[in-house]
Structure 1
Amino acid sequence: MVTKDATRGALDRTKKLALLVLCAQLFLDSMDVSLMGVALPQIQRQLDLPESTLQWLISGYAVAYGGFLLLGGRAADLFGRRRVFLVATAVFAVASLAGGFLSDGTAIVITRVIKGVAAAFIAPAALSIIITTFPEGPQRNRAMAVFSLTGASGYSAGLVLSGVLTEASWRLTFFAPVPVALLVLLLTPRVVRRDEPSTGERRGFDLAGATTVTAGLLLFVYALTQGPRIGWLSGGTLLMLTAAVALLVAFVVIEQRQANPLVPLGVFRTRSLGAANLVGLFWACATIGWQFVAVLYLQQTLGYGALEAGLAILPMGLSILVVVNFAPRLIALLGLRWLAVLGMLVQGAGILLFLRADADSGYLTVLLPALVVHGIGNGLSFPAFNIAGVSGATEGRQGLAAALITASVQLGGGLGVAVLAALLSAAGPGQLVGFHRAFLVAGVFSAVGAVIAAVGLRPQPPTVETRVESEDDLALSLGDSEALSASGPDPTIRP
Structure 2
Amino acid sequence: MSVALFMAAVDQTIVATALPAIQYELDAPVNWSGWTITVYALGQVLMMPVAGRISEQFGRKKVFVSAAVLFTGASLACGFATDIYLLVVLRAIQAIGGGAFMPAATGIVADNFGHGRDRALGMFTSIFPIGGIVGPIVGGVFTAFWSWPGIFLVNVPIGLVLIALAVRFLPASQPRESGRVDFSGIALLGLLVITSMFGITYLGSGDTSLLSPVFLACEGIAVVALVCFVRHAKRHPAPFIPFELVRGRGFGVMNLINLCYGAAALGFGALVPLYAEDRFHIKSLEAGTLLTARAIGSICVAALAVLALRRTGHRLPMLVGFLITAVGLAAMYVVPRGLPPYLWLSIAAAVSGIGMGMSVPASNNASLQLAPEKVAAIAGLRGMFRQAGAIISISVATAVIARSSDAGLAQAHILLTFAGLMIAVLPLMLLVPDHRGSW
Under a length normalisation based on structure 1, what TM-score does the superposition of the two structures give?
0.83
Matching residue within 398, 419, 431 for 1:456: 431
- 2:151 matched residue in structure 1: 173
- 1:33 matched residue in structure 2: 12
Match for 1:83: what amino acid?
K
Deviation at 1:355, TM superposition (A): 0.5
Deviation at 1:302, TM superposition (A): 4.2
2:91 equivalent to 1:115: no
- 1:78 matched residue in structure 2: 57
- Contact preservation (8 Å) 1:285, 1:415: yes
Deviation at 1:222, TM superposition (A): 1.6
2:262 equivalent to 1:284: yes
User: Which one has the largest radius of gyration?
Assistant: 1
Deviation at 1:269, TM superposition (A): 5.2
Pick closer, same or farther for the CA change 1:294–1:24 going to 2, 3 Å: same
SS at match of 1:325: helix
Q: For residues 79 and 51 of structure 1, what CA distance do their matches in structure 2 show?
A: 41
Deviation at 1:303, TM superposition (A): 4.4
- Contact preservation (8 Å) 2:233, 2:243: yes
Q: For residues 358 and 220 of structure 2, what CA distance do their matches in structure 1 show?
A: 37
- Contact preservation (8 Å) 2:250, 2:370: no
SS at match of 2:179: coil
Pick closer, same or farther for the CA change 1:359–1:189 going to 2, 3 Å: farther
Between the aligned residues of both structures, percent identity stands at 26
Deviation at 1:301, TM superposition (A): 4.1
Alignment: residue pair count: 436
Pick closer, same or farther for the CA change 1:181–1:369 going to 2, 3 Å: same
Query: Unmatched 5+ residue regions in structure 1?
Result: 1-21, 471-494
2:41 equivalent to 1:67: no
Pick closer, same or farther for the CA change 1:132–1:45 going to 2, 3 Å: same
Q: For residues 394 and 383 of structure 1, what CA distance do their matches in structure 2 show?
A: 16
Q: For residues 321 and 23 of structure 2, what CA distance do their matches in structure 1 show?
A: 39
Deviation at 1:197, TM superposition (A): 5.3
Matching residue within 345, 362, 380 for 1:403: 380
Deviation at 1:213, TM superposition (A): 1.1
Deviation at 1:452, TM superposition (A): 1.8
Q: For residues 415 and 392 of structure 1, what CA distance do their matches in structure 2 show?
A: 28
Match for 1:281: what amino acid?
L
Q: For residues 156 and 315 of structure 1, what CA distance do their matches in structure 2 show?
A: 9
Per-residue CA deviations over 1:251-270 (Å, capped at 9, x if unaligned) read 11112211111122133454
- Contact preservation (8 Å) 1:160, 1:307: no
- 1:435 matched residue in structure 2: 411
- 1:204 matched residue in structure 2: 180
Q: For residues 391 and 165 of structure 1, what CA distance do their matches in structure 2 show?
A: 42
Deviation at 1:451, TM superposition (A): 2.6
Matching residue within 134, 140, 144 for 2:121: 144
Q: For residues 85 and 345 of structure 1, what CA distance do their matches in structure 2 show?
A: 36
Within a 5 Å distance, the mapping from 1:208-357 to structure 2 comes to 208-229=184-205, 230-268=208-246, 270-357=248-335
Match for 1:426: what amino acid?
R
Q: For residues 444 and 426 of structure 1, what CA distance do their matches in structure 2 show?
A: 22
SS at match of 2:28: coil
SS at match of 1:348: helix
- 2:396 matched residue in structure 1: 419
Q: For residues 121 and 280 of structure 2, what CA distance do their matches in structure 1 show?
A: 37
Within a 5 Å distance, the mapping from 1:458-477 to structure 2 comes to 458-460=433-435, 470=438
RMSD (Å) for aligned C-alpha atoms: 2.2
- Contact preservation (8 Å) 1:98, 1:111: yes
Q: For residues 10 and 215 of structure 2, what CA distance do their matches in structure 1 show?
A: 30
